[in-house]
Structure 1
Amino acid sequence: MIPAAVLALSVTLAGCAGTAAGGRSADAARPAGGAVAASAAPGTTQGRPPQTSADPRASADSGASTASDPEASTASAPSRLPGLGPRTLAKVPADARQAVLVTGRGRNSSASQVVLYRRTGAGWEPGATWPAHNALKGWTDDHHAGDLRSPIGVFTLTDAGGLLADPGTKLPYDQGPAFSIGGTGFEGEPLAGSFDYVVAINYNRKPGTSPLDWTRPLGANKGGGIWLHVDHGGPTQGCVSLTQKHMKELLLALDPAQHPVIVMGDAASLKR
């Protein structure tokens, strides 16, 4: 196991939170690993067995939002996730009962919105709509380390963690000081607190491990350490960020038994 001090240093040197000169971010902080099989979570994970996924790039998203009203939404729930074209829809697993839909404003924009959906017999019921940030330069179908773009695709969500104590999520949660971060972002905003809560996005990482795990099955050049994390008020290096309140709501809603996935990309790309 990598000592916490080393992990904390790595988090401050690279990462998903966008940085200005001298700043730090979170992408390279965690060892993202990726795609094919899950392994036992490290001893830092608090008390719950890790979830596994045979296909981390196309996984189920659990999007039940605490703000959704099943009684009000049942009649109008769409049978398919809205805004998605056939190619994207084909990547959403049949057993996914929750989906975090991240829709970017444009291919080169760092602004996006997040809607948490849950699938019922009536269709996909939307929860609240939350503003979000993605990478500084927008989105890409071929993510590489340092390109300052967020990867487009459908990915499973199996593991969480953060500097703060577990708020009560059903996901395995790794809490500790290694989630500390300092410095400033691309717009000069402080990055402190960005990793108070995080959910690892299973792009080029090994599911069933702490978000801080360094395994990258697709190779280091393909990047990694792509997270959902607390918004610091500016673009990220590759992650998706929400306010702390909304990150906490998301953690409380996600349920591994519902096979949660995240569907993410700019609006035009998602329609393919």
Structure 2
Amino acid sequence: MSVSSVRRGPRLAAALLASGLLLTGCGGAAADGGSAPGGTTADGKGVDGTDSAGSHGGTVGSLGGTAGRSAPEPQTAEPKVIPGLGPRTLAAIPPETDQAVVATGAGRDRNTGTVLVYERDPVTGWAPVSDVWPAHNAKRGWTDDHVRGDLRTPIGVFGLTDAGGLLPDPGTRLPYDRGPAFSVSGTGFQGDSLVGSFDYVVAINYNRVPGNTPLDWTRPLGADKGGGIWLHVDHGGPTQGCVSLPRGRMKELLRLLDPMKKPVVVMGDAESLQR
């Protein structure tokens, strides 16, 4: 062996060692200085054929993730509830109901208020599907214990299953009973004409048999508990116990109501509904 070969020996060994370290840095050592046990190949596989994370719980530097940890749960918003309704009132809305007509009185002893129609999406919750409509209720306001002749509107959550009126069906999906028995005359408490008040009506299922015409006078709770509580056309003044809406709004309501959504009316003075 020549002297030059002897002299080149250490240099060659050092070069081969450096080359090996460089190769290890591409596959086995992560760019941030971490290393996977047993070393890895360039495609992230360990030298024994397993992923570099393997069962060791080490980090995979090229991905920046940590093996063995679950991804965070996605954040979801709570479904919206109907504003202005308290827990007791909300609990009275049947779970199968996806449509609610909310009639909110201005005060316990007041006969004016508003109506707003809501629908429920299974994911996002309740949302309004109408404008705010002006409304009248009974002359003396609202009551938790309605009796015949008290001139108060009953508070509560009641089904809406049947409609009717003097005029032709405006396009409702509810059963609609049309006939001359819906004629009315005379004047209201403020001298307002009652003519046309029952052109369109929706029966409120207070002390009545659902599935029958609004003109059915069967009273399951007895005659003393009153009945004949309807949504009907407003005549410009308070009612005897019903909730009344402007004529155009009654037509709009009839077209909105969908028996497949099990509609209800939620009604009472604002303070009572917040319970």
Q: Structure 1: state its 5+ residue gaps.
A: 1-75
Per-residue CA deviation, residues 34-73 of structure 1 (Å, 9 max, x unaligned), is: xxxxxxxxxxxxxxxxxxxxxxxxxxxxxxxxxxxxxxxx
Q: Distance in 2 between matches of 1:125 and 1:212?
A: 32
Contact residue 164 and residue 214 of structure 2 kept, 8 A? yes
Contact residue 80 and residue 127 of structure 2 kept, 8 A? no
Query: Secondary structure of the residue that 1:248 maps to in structure 2?
Result: helix
Matches within 5 A, 1:62-141: 79-120=80-121, 121-126=123-128, 127-141=130-144
Structure with the bigger RCO (C-alpha within 8 Å, sep 6+) is 1
Query: Secondary structure of the residue that 2:168 maps to in structure 1?
Result: coil
**Larger Rg: 1 or 2?**
2
Q: Distance in 1 between matches of 2:171 and 2:153?
A: 28
How many residue pairs get matched? 197
Question: What TM-score, normalized by structure 2, do the two folds share?
Answer: 0.70
Matched letter for residue 102 of structure 1: A
Question: What TM-score, normalized by structure 1, do the two folds share?
Answer: 0.71
Query: Secondary structure of the residue that 1:128 maps to in structure 2?
Result: coil
Q: Distance in 2 between matches of 1:218 and 1:78?
A: 36
Q: Runs of 4 or more off by more than 2 Å in structure 1?
A: none
Q: Is 1:265 paired with 2:235? A: no
Contact residue 155 and residue 203 of structure 1 kept, 8 A? yes
Shift of 1:77: 10
Contact residue 207 and residue 220 of structure 2 kept, 8 A? yes
Query: Secondary structure of the residue that 1:252 maps to in structure 2?
Result: helix
Shift of 1:80: 1.1
Report the RMSD for the aligned CA atoms in angstroms: 1.2
Show the counterpart of 1:238. Answer: 241
Show the counterpart of 2:257. Answer: 254
Q: Distance in 2 between matches of 1:112 and 1:211?
A: 23
Q: Distance in 1 between matches of 2:99 and 2:179?
A: 27
Shift of 1:81: 1.2
Q: Structure 2: state its 5+ residue gaps.
A: 1-76
Q: Distance in 2 between matches of 1:78 and 1:149?
A: 34
Q: Distance in 1 between matches of 2:236 and 2:93?
A: 30
**Percent of aligned pairs sharing the same letter:** 69
Show the counterpart of 1:54. Answer: none
Shift of 1:78: 6.3
Matches within 5 A, 1:143-158: 143-158=146-161
